[in-house]
Chains A and B, each alone.
Chain A
Amino acid sequence: MGIKQEKQVNIERGVNMYSDKVMDHFSNPRNVGEIENADGVGQVGNSKCGDIMKMYLKIEDDVIVDVKFKTFGCGAAVATSSMATELIKGKTVEEALKMSNKAVVEALDGLPPAKLHCSVLAEEAVIAAINDYKRKQGHEVEDVDCQGCCGGCGSTR
Chain B
Amino acid sequence: MNKKIIYVDHAATTYVKPEVFDEMRPYFTEYYGNPSSIYSLGRESKKAIEKARAQIAFYLGAHSTEIYFTGSGTEADNWAIKGAAYANRKKGKHLITTVIEHHAVLEAFEFLRKEGFEVTYLPVDENGIVDPNELAKAIRPDTTLVSIMYANNEIGTVQPIKELAAIAKEKGVLFHTDAVQAVGNIDINVKDLDVDFLSMSAHKFYGPKGVGALYIKKGTRVDSILHGGAQEKNRRPGTENVPGIVGMAAAIKLAYDNIEQNIKHLQNLSDRLIDKVMDKIPYVRLNGDREQRLPGNVNLSFEFIEGESLLLMLDMKGVQASSGSACTSGSLDPSHVLLAIGLSHEIAHGSLRISFGTENTEEDVDYIVDNLEEIVSKLRAMSPLYEDYVRKDGK
Contact = CB atoms under 8 A, between A and B. Distances in A.
Interface of A: 23, 26-27, 29, 32-34, 43, 47-54, 69-78, 114-115, 149-150, 152
Contacts of B330: 114
Contacts of B319: none
A152 to B, nearest CB: 8
A71 B382 contact: yes
Contacts of A71: 382-384
Contacts of B383: 70-72
Given A26-B312, A78-B309, A70 B382 contact: yes
Contacts of B386: 72
| Top 3 A-B pairs, shortest CB-CB distance | A74-B327, A47-B346, A74-B308
Interface size class of B (residues with CB under 8 A): 20 to 34
Interface in B302-346: 304-306, 308-309, 312-313, 316, 325-327, 330, 332-334, 344-346
Nearest to B312: A75
25 contacts: A27-B312, A29-B382, A32-B382, A34-B387, A43-B384, A47-B344, A47-B345, A49-B326, A49-B345, A50-B325, A51-B306, A54-B387, A70-B383, A70-B387, A71-B384, A72-B306, A72-B385, A73-B309, A74-B308, A74-B325, A75-B327, A77-B309, A78-B309, A114-B330, A152-B345
A68 to B, nearest CB: 10
B349 interface: yes
Interface of B: 304-306, 308-309, 312-313, 316, 325-327, 330, 332-334, 344-346, 349, 381-387
A48 B345 contact: yes
Contacts of B327: 50, 73-76, 115
B238 to A, nearest CB: 29
A57 to B, nearest CB: 15
Given A32-B382, A71-B384, A72-B385, A50 B306 contact: yes
